[in-house]
Chains A and B, each alone.
Chain A
Amino acid sequence: MFSAVAYQLSSTFLEEQKLCCGRGARVAMSKKPAAQPTLHKVIMVGSGGVGKSALTLQFMYDEFVEDYEPTKADSYRKKVVLDGEEVQIDILDTAGQEDYAAIRDNYFRSGEGFLCVFSITEPESFDATQEFREQILRVKNDENIPFLLVGNKSDLGDKRRVPLDACRERAAHWQVPYVETSAKTRDNVDKVFFDLMREIRSRKSDDSRATNGDVKRKPRRKIKCAIL
């Protein structure tokens, strides 16, 4: 069963990938075919059961998974076209229930941008975002890390228990965008991922400009080339 599903997923993904490649080549690619597009590392954080995996799977495969099975730590990678440029997104879907701080820090360290997800039907998950934000800032040691506050399950408006104002207020306080999504209806799903990638991209180009030719890492150089 599972392998069949996996096969289906992988084959659809391969097709998508082909499409992306084709489009990418038409648009801008003049590099060697072996070279991989720029990689943006996104991390999903938030309490258990708020829909991190559901958002990820909806973004990856356009499907909504009803059954809940706690995630340990899963990673996904996909080629997408971001504003005409082909890039790769690497999504790390973390465990909401991961209660061992040292390991959680390890996950956070590998990320370049964060989607901090809570459920608008669950005030506890909204409260928890505060803690996640603090941990991320501590680990990354960066106030301006690309970060989106995401209120999921917007399709369950009648069960809403976190007022919109509170969400906006918190986002404003952190100086991050606030988006409401629904993994079920796919509402704003692409938006949060693409918005975050744009932030990561602009952040990277700022960095490379700041270092100004001090090319430590390959991807940065590539980015620079692309911009020039």
Chain B
Amino acid sequence: MSDINMEKFAVPEFVPERYVKELAKSCVGGEELAQQKEKIQSLAEETASALKKNVYENYMQFIETATEISHLETEMYKLSHLLSDQRMVLTTLSQASVLGNENTLSRESLDNHDLEAERLEEERKNKLNSISEKVESCMNLLDVPDRHLLHEGDLLEIDAEENTALQRMHVYLFNDCLMLTSWISNRRGPMRYKFQTSYPISTLAVVNVRDLGTVKQAFKVLAFPDTRVFQCNSLTIKKDWLDKFDVAKNMHIEKENLKQKKKDSQDKIKHESLESPSLSVEELLSPQIAPLPDWLADVTEELDVFIVERHFQKTYDLMIKAQRTLSTEEFVTHPQRTEILKKIEQKQKVLTEILLKELDVTHNWSPRGGLRSSRHPVLILNKFNMTSQACELFLDICNHTVKAHVKAVQLEGSIYSYVKQVGEVFFCSLSDALTEFISLFPNNKLSAFVVWASMQLRILMSQIIKQVFTPQCALDSILECVQSLREQCTLFCEFGLDLRFQMNSCLRSPIIKALREYKEKIVDSMKTKVSEDKWTPVNMHTKAGVNKFLSQMENLGLILVRYVINETWVDLSSSTIWFAQSVITVQNVGLEIVTKDMMDVVDECICAIFSSRLKFSTGNDTTYAHKNFKFILETVMTHMIKKYKDKVGYDNVKLLDLAVEYGVHIAPPKKSNITYTSNEYL
């Protein structure tokens, strides 16, 4: 007989047809076949249920993994964005270094002047040689000792008079001249150009063409007697060209001035030739004024770089340093002072904008970084006197973190464990926010935090109330939840912020509502319970049942051992037991859950329940019913009055009145005397 087991189905070459054929062959008679079919069916069911189970087991994990993956994805996206930003910075820097050669050279020359200079010289020569190769009948580029390339690019030449396109050009700008070359078309392989002409920088004047009819993005080169107009592909390219022309012009002026100086004084020659590369353009333009230090002259560029690289702290430091230095006596009269200060101010604006954006939760913000990640921007904004904005945005971030944390708590198991967890998470993130807030902001902003925190609490409470205070939720589980919330709130007071009042004020109306609803429920069901009561003792069936009942009642404060008869019987009717349990629960829970200002609600509920029960009893006159009535009056009511006083410190006047009305004598005079002579009354 073929045995049915999983392995057979699991093999990869399993063919259902063959399997069925074999099975049919080996089976004798229809009965056996039916048996086999049943077996296979049960096997299928088993696997199906196992599969289901597996799916359920892993379901949560699936979801978690999915959210994690989506988080990671956003993170990666952000990262790649950052990386591409930085790549841009690096490329611009490397381009800038081509023209910044002089500066780098001068800085490093102090350390290893020879090596560095040699390397640069080599590079320069290579570059010029490669240009010479590309350009047919090129002029000798290497004949001028320190010629180097500043900029090159394709431009379209425009007829200066007719505004029509003339030819495509490839233009090289060197530090000392401009070389124009035309394209050689119909050629394969690398692009080659034909030399046209070159103008020395000193004879050039560049004009930004603002308006030339239909020709856009053009600039003009005036090189007497020629006037040449070039069109660029984009505004940035044009700006680039104009900037580079400026650089070339400034370098040229610098050189001219140097020559002038050399002529002026022979002694200075040696001195200056040593230092010449490090002289900045500004110095030479205004030689009579104390020169700005290099870092100060370049401060705006440096700030730009820092901002792009997101070194916000460094940006701020540099700004302050520059501003301070500029306000010292040495520079107070410097002609460039106001200009630089103005630029720094602009940069400051840019920086604050970026920082504000950084803090803005609506703008691509992820909770993963935590509050700490916002520390730097906030601190810098504080220094710029933008505390209020920073504070607002910071609290917004806190908002989101709190929300995210609370959201992460899942509703599983009892409502109590959920509320407890939510409360813990909420107050923890609140305390995190508070400690961070205190460290970041000055004390006068603390009120903002208090307002924010109480608002958060209100939001949280409204959510919790919706979930906890439902008709399905038993009164004692509501009590548990409220108690755990209060406990955590009290713990939170240690951080110096007491939110208990706000919490209680949020809880007030739902608690009152819940108590009243509970009362209504009891009063409503009282009628049926009492009228359907058979007025006989209740059988608990087993000894264990009796013990359980006794301990339950003991928990409520009633010791009923003397009511046990015949081992398993309790000498009270079912409605009486139910009533005693309900009314004592109302009092116990009520006294715990309310705050002082709601005591009257508890009183009212207890009294209402009692009086409605007592009214029912007047109609019943069987002896057993009467006995139960007596139990309620003498045992339950007395117990409750006593318990109430123990708990609160004074009597439940309404219940006492009720007791007197029904002729119950309670209140041991001694105790009441003590209460009246106690300080409370004074």
- A: residues with CB less than 8 A from B are 3, 9-10, 13-14, 17, 34-36, 39, 60, 72-79, 92-93, 99-100, 102-104, 106-107, 109-110, 218-219
B208 touches A73 (CB 8 A): yes
Given contacts A10-B211, A13-B211, contact A73 B205 (CB under 8 A): yes
Contacts of A75 in B (CB 8 A): 207-212, 220
Contacts of B164 in A (CB 8 A): 34
Given contacts A75-B209, A75-B210, A100-B249, contact A106 B203 (CB under 8 A): yes
Given contacts A10-B216, A100-B253, A107-B222, contact A36 B211 (CB under 8 A): no
Contacts of A3 in B (CB 8 A): 235
Question: SS class of chain B's interface: helix, strand, loop or mixed?
Answer: mixed
User: Distance (Å) between the CB of B404 and the closest chain A CB?
Assistant: 37
User: Distance (Å) between the CB of B135 and the closest chain A CB?
Assistant: 25
For the complex, what is the distance from the CA of A122 to the CA of B163, rounded to whole Å?
A: 39
User: Distance (Å) between the CB of A95 and the closest chain B CB?
Assistant: 10
For the complex, what is the distance from the CA of A106 to the CA of B246, rounded to whole Å?
A: 15
B161 touches A219 (CB 8 A): yes
B211 touches A76 (CB 8 A): yes
For the complex, what is the distance from the CA of A72 to the CA of B250, rounded to whole Å?
A: 13
For the complex, what is the distance from the CA of A78 to the CA of B212, rounded to whole Å?
A: 7
With an 8 A cutoff between CB atoms, is B223 at the interface? yes
Can you name 19 A-B pairs with beta carbons within 8 Å?
A3-B235, A9-B211, A13-B213, A34-B164, A35-B162, A39-B161, A72-B208, A72-B246, A73-B205, A74-B207, A75-B209, A75-B212, A76-B209, A76-B212, A78-B211, A93-B210, A102-B203, A104-B205, A106-B205
Given contacts A36-B163, A73-B206, A75-B220, contact A110 B211 (CB under 8 A): no
A110 touches B203 (CB 8 A): no
Contacts of B202 in A (CB 8 A): 102
Given contacts A102-B202, A109-B222, contact A76 B242 (CB under 8 A): no
For the complex, what is the distance from the CA of A218 to the CA of B242, rounded to whole Å?
A: 31
B213 touches A106 (CB 8 A): no
B211 touches A103 (CB 8 A): no
11 further contact pairs, Cβ within 8 A, besides A9-B211, A73-B208, A102-B203: A13-B211, A34-B164, A72-B246, A74-B207, A76-B212, A77-B163, A77-B212, A77-B213, A100-B249, A107-B222, A109-B225
User: Distance (Å) between the CB of B177 and the closest chain A CB?
Assistant: 14
In the complex, chain B residues 205-233 whose Cβ is within 8 Å of any chain A Cβ: 205-214, 216, 220, 222-225, 227
With an 8 A cutoff between CB atoms, is B204 at the interface? yes
User: Distance (Å) between the CB of A36 and the closest chain B CB?
Assistant: 5
For the complex, what is the distance from the CA of A3 to the CA of B205, rounded to whole Å?
A: 26
User: Distance (Å) between the CB of A190 and the closest chain B CB?
Assistant: 17
- B: residues with CB less than 8 A from A are 161-164, 202-214, 216, 220, 222-225, 227, 235, 242, 246, 249, 253, 285
For the complex, what is the distance from the CA of A132 to the CA of B207, rounded to whole Å?
A: 19
For the complex, what is the distance from the CA of A13 to the CA of B212, rounded to whole Å?
A: 10
B208 touches A109 (CB 8 A): no
A73 touches B224 (CB 8 A): no
A74 touches B205 (CB 8 A): no
Of B222, B223, B225, B227, most buried by chain A (CB within 10 Å of CB) is: B222
User: Distance (Å) between the CB of A220 and the closest chain B CB?
Assistant: 12
Contacts of A99 in B (CB 8 A): 285
Contacts of A93 in B (CB 8 A): 210
Contacts of A219 in B (CB 8 A): 161
B227 touches A110 (CB 8 A): yes
Given contacts A10-B216, A110-B222, contact A103 B205 (CB under 8 A): yes
For the complex, what is the distance from the CA of A172 to the CA of B249, rounded to whole Å?
A: 38
CB-based closest 10 A-B pairs? A106-B205, A76-B211, A109-B224, A73-B207, A74-B210, A75-B207, A74-B208, A75-B209, A110-B222, A106-B222
B205 touches A36 (CB 8 A): no
A17 touches B213 (CB 8 A): yes
A107 touches B249 (CB 8 A): no
User: Distance (Å) between the CB of B123 and the closest chain A CB?
Assistant: 30
For the complex, what is the distance from the CA of A117 to the CA of B223, rounded to whole Å?
A: 25
For the complex, what is the distance from the CA of A100 to the CA of B253, rounded to whole Å?
A: 8
Closest A residue to B223 by CB, please name it.
A106
Given contacts A103-B205, A106-B205, contact A76 B224 (CB under 8 A): no
Closest A residue to B224 by CB, please name it.
A109
For the complex, what is the distance from the CA of A35 to the CA of B161, rounded to whole Å?
A: 10
A110 touches B161 (CB 8 A): no
User: Distance (Å) between the CB of B248 and the closest chain A CB?
Assistant: 11
Of B163, B164, B207, B242, most buried by chain A (CB within 10 Å of CB) is: B207
User: Distance (Å) between the CB of B199 and the closest chain A CB?
Assistant: 10
For the complex, what is the distance from the CA of A75 to the CA of B225, rounded to whole Å?
A: 17
Contacts of A218 in B (CB 8 A): 161
Contacts of A9 in B (CB 8 A): 211
Contacts of A110 in B (CB 8 A): 205, 222, 224, 227
For the complex, what is the distance from the CA of A2 to the CA of B163, rounded to whole Å?
A: 24
Contacts of B223 in A (CB 8 A): 106
Closest B residue to A53 by CB, please name it.
B210
Contacts of A14 in B (CB 8 A): 213-214
Contacts of B242 in A (CB 8 A): 72
Contacts of A74 in B (CB 8 A): 207-210
User: Distance (Å) between the CB of A101 and the closest chain B CB?
Assistant: 10
Contacts of B253 in A (CB 8 A): 100
User: Distance (Å) between the CB of A102 and the closest chain B CB?
Assistant: 5
Contacts of A109 in B (CB 8 A): 222, 224-225
Contacts of A79 in B (CB 8 A): 213
Contacts of B249 in A (CB 8 A): 100, 103
Name A36's contact: one of B162, B204, B222, B246 (CB within 8 Å): B162
Contacts of A76 in B (CB 8 A): 209-212
For the complex, what is the distance from the CA of A79 to the CA of B285, rounded to whole Å?
A: 39
For the complex, what is the distance from the CA of A99 to the CA of B286, rounded to whole Å?
A: 11
Closest A residue to B219 by CB, please name it.
A75
For the complex, what is the distance from the CA of A60 to the CA of B213, rounded to whole Å?
A: 12
B211 touches A92 (CB 8 A): no
For the complex, what is the distance from the CA of A110 to the CA of B203, rounded to whole Å?
A: 12
Contacts of B212 in A (CB 8 A): 75-77
Contacts of B204 in A (CB 8 A): 103, 106
For the complex, what is the distance from the CA of A73 to the CA of B227, rounded to whole Å?
A: 14
